Structure 1
Amino acid sequence: MIDVVVVGGGAMGSAAAWQLARRGKDVLLLERFAPGHHQGASHGASRIFRLVYAEPDYIALARRALTLWSELESATGTDLLDLTGGVDHGDPALVEPIAAAMDAAGVPGQWLARDEAAERWPGLRFDGPAFFHPSTGRVHADHAVTALQAAAASQGAVVKHETPVRHIVVRGNDHAEVVTDDGVVHARRVVVAVGAWTSKLLPFPVSLTVTQEQPAHFTPLSEDVRWPSFIHHGHEVYGMLTPGEGVKVGLHGTGIPVDPDSRDFAAEPSRAAQLADYVRSWVPGVDPATAAPISCTYTTTPTSDFIVDRTGPLVVAAGFSGHGFKFTPAIGELVADLAGGASGPHRFSFAARDVHP
């Protein structure tokens, strides 16, 4: 019997495999698709990394992730995290609590007047003060998944792609069967980290909504303009420079509900027009006519808080709600803790969302 089978080789599953293997566990990671696939939520060249939250527990989790991203870079000799600085602007009722929480946590940040922000970042338009935080940047998503799997393998984990898991059968508190096309694998623990496929695979219901999101890359008008990662509160828009591809801008959580096995990957015209209109008004440093759409999925909980919890032999990591990638290595650590018998944060528990597997 294997110690742990991790189902799902995206960011979270790969991070869990790394952390579990570091602890000496016998780990088998099973991924449905080929390496580098674009079916889920872990592909592409850029995700925002930021410590910037209004909730102290999220700030602490991001700080832990920052340490672990550095450890992963050292372990694999891979550059993954680029701290470009970031800026939050827009609705003061949303930005001010974030700035206050950052100050309380001792995380560096400063308010800039509108004119000062516009001078520093002429590619963006501001309608009021902006909150700048230097410990923000971007993570290369594709490289991160590759590095996590390499780090897991270096610690003894076995990584198998193109191995779909069809069913999981719970046999006891320390025994589950993982059914694949090649047979049945018996494990003491099974980590389920399959993103948009979570509800299809779990043997109990959880409240998750899967949407197809469609950010886009836009061509900068000048190569000399500096770009922070940015969040525009009130408009629910995020963005960052993706080197070699343009400035990535996206509407947060506005996508169409989809079945992950039958999505068409095509940009929905009205949402594409809405994004172009936003860019035309608020991102003067790019050409709004150059949108190159990206297709990805969000798997969202009703509160946008994650699910990271254990029931019997199953550890579930799901519902990252469009803001989870930055936390990836720290989520892997939480999963490893749960697999070892520890309790996780109440915010991420089944109990917090009234789910009783």
Structure 2
Amino acid sequence: MMGGRHVVVIEAGLTGSATAWRLARHGIRVTLLERDAPASVLGSSHGSARIFRYAYPDPLYADLVRRARTDWAELEEASGVPLFTAHGAVDHGSLRDTPRLAEVLTSLGVRSELLPPEEARRRWPHMVFGTPVLWQPDAGVVDAQTAAEAMTRLAAESGAEVRTGTEAGAVRRTRSGFAVDVGPSGAAPSVGDTLHATDVVVAAGGWLPRLLPALPLPAAFRASLPPFTVRKEQVFHFRWRDPAAAWPTFIHDESGTLVYGLPGGRDAGFAGQKVAVFDGGPVLSSAADPDRTIDPSNRARVTAYVQEFLPGLHPEPYAEAACLFTSTPTEDFVIDTADHLTLLAACSGHAAKFAPLLGRLTADHVLGIDPTPPRFRPFTA
């Protein structure tokens, strides 16, 4: 093992499993703790369908997407499992600024096409467009749950110890690093069941607000962190009227309401489009909040949107689900360290598309191989 280091990674969602895989490939001793199972329904990484899009007005993120696509291909090759499906993506709406998005993608060499609304309606007659449309032919959908499971397996094959059904309790500093109390999920860790580590990576997603107060972090580090907001996102599946029609993923930003949609994958039987209002649900205290009920007013709001803008769908949801978005005010990620304790808060509702790359960035950050973008380091930048 490299340098005698032992890194404990807390939670095996997309980013935690990616970090464990990357660290283990470097020859680091890794223990990956997951309170349930990889990509558990208790967190944010479950399900088969997340949008992979290139269109960001910020060149930093657009370039990271470009880099992440290579990492997804690497992960598919390493795991032998298909994880990316090309559907293309469209962005439109009066607040989406598609000319700016096209300009950024062109500067990075990413294929895109800016279409007048009449041309977009000709290509996708099952959708309604009233503004210029940005088409990204190389975008698509990634399978979040299968990816997290694959990266957990690859981490184990590279030497990592994976403990499912295991919850991290207290994290204490010791003279040589950290002591992490562990035990069965939902029960107090038994006395003496302690892991000793040189480094800890907390990739807890919606569980972070619950864990953060107990982490041994310097006051200055805590003060530098942005607030983390956990929101119950609610998604609805609508059947395609014509199953043979080509449906891209989409983002539609109009009048201050951002709606997104994508082919729903196996989550709902490969039979329709998943549609939701971004940040349309209530705020929760953390992932520990058990409320996963669907708000009827949210369902009615999304159904009304489908009736107006997506005539190619039957306007009655045939499946629905709640998931968690954990966001920072700027929607930036956090990858920062205080004395060998690293927070990986890759959240804000748009992290899934970056998952293998975020694992690489975090592993490199922990090992001091490559500097993390300063915007992700509120304390050490």
Q: TM-score, normalised to structure 2's length?
A: 0.88
2:247 aligned with 1:227, yes or no? yes
Q: What whole-Å deviation, never above 9, does each CA across 1:146-184 have from its counterpart, x for those lacking one?
A: 111111111111111000001212336x61221112511
Tell me by how many angstroms 1:2 deviates. Answer: 5.5
Counterpart code for 2:252 = H
- Residue 273 of structure 2 is aligned to residue 247 of structure 1: yes
Contact 1:94 1:233 in 2 (8 A): no
How far is the alpha carbon of 1:93 from its aligned partner? 5.6
Whether contact under 8 Å (1:72, 1:151) holds in the other structure is no
| Residue 320, structure 1, aligned to residue 330, structure 2 | no
1:236 and 2:261 are equivalent in the alignment: no
Contact 2:29–2:160, Cα closer than 8 Å, also in 1: yes
- Which structure 1 segments of 5+ residues have no match? none
Encode CA deviations 1:76-104: one digit per residue, 9 max, x unaligned. Answer: 11000012111111125632221111111
- Give the 3-state SS of the residue equivalent to 1:262 in structure 2: coil
Q: 1:301 to 1:36 in 2, by over 3 A?
A: closer
Letter of the structure 2 residue corresponding to residue 230 of structure 1: F
Per-residue CA distance 1:310-357 (angstroms, 9 max, x = gap) = 1111111115100111000110011101110253111111239x9xxx
Contact 1:122 1:225 in 2 (8 A): no
Match of 1:290 in 2: 317
More divergent stretch after superposition (91-100 vs 205-214): 91-100
1:1-357 superposed matches below 5 A: 3-35=6-38, 37-91=40-94, 94-171=97-174, 175-180=177-182, 181-182=189-190, 183-202=193-212, 203=215, 204=217, 205=222, 206=225, 207-234=227-254, 235-243=257-265, 244-259=270-285, 260-341=287-368, 342-351=370-379
**Could you tell me which residue of structure 1 aligns to residue 186 of structure 2?**
none
- Taking the aligned partners of 1:178 and 1:64, their CA distance within structure 2 comes to 34
Separation in 1, partners of 2:30, 2:335: 19
Q: Secondary structure at the match of 2:347?
A: coil
1:37 deviation in Å? Answer: 2.6
CA RMSD of aligned residues (A): 1.7
Q: In the TM superposition, what is the alpha-carbon distance from 1:245 to its structure 2 partner?
A: 4.3
Distance 1:268 1:231 in 2: 22
Aligned partner of 1:324: which letter?
A: A
Q: Distance in 1 between matches of 2:376 and 2:39?
A: 28
Alpha-carbon separation, structure 2, partners of 1:328 and 1:93 = 25
Paired letter, 1:292: A
2:96/2:253 contact within 8 Å kept = no
Q: Deviations over 1:9-31 (max 9, x none)?
A: 10000000010011111111000
What are the Cα deviations for residues 272-324 of structure 1, in whole angstroms up to 9, with x where unaligned?
21111111111111112124211100101011111111111111111510011
Report the Cα distance in structure 2 between the residues aligned to 1:251 and 1:213, rounded to whole angstroms.
8
Measure, in 1, the Cα distance between the counterparts of 2:70 and 2:241. Answer: 35
Distance, in Å, in 1 between the alignment partners of 2:289 and 2:115 is 46
Letter in 1 for 2:202: V
**Counterpart of 2:198 in 1: which secondary structure?**
strand
Matched pairs, number? 352
Q: Is the 8 A contact 2:66 2:110 kept in 1?
A: no
- CA distances 1:199-233 after superposition (whole Å, capped 9, x unpaired): 22132544101111101111111112110111112
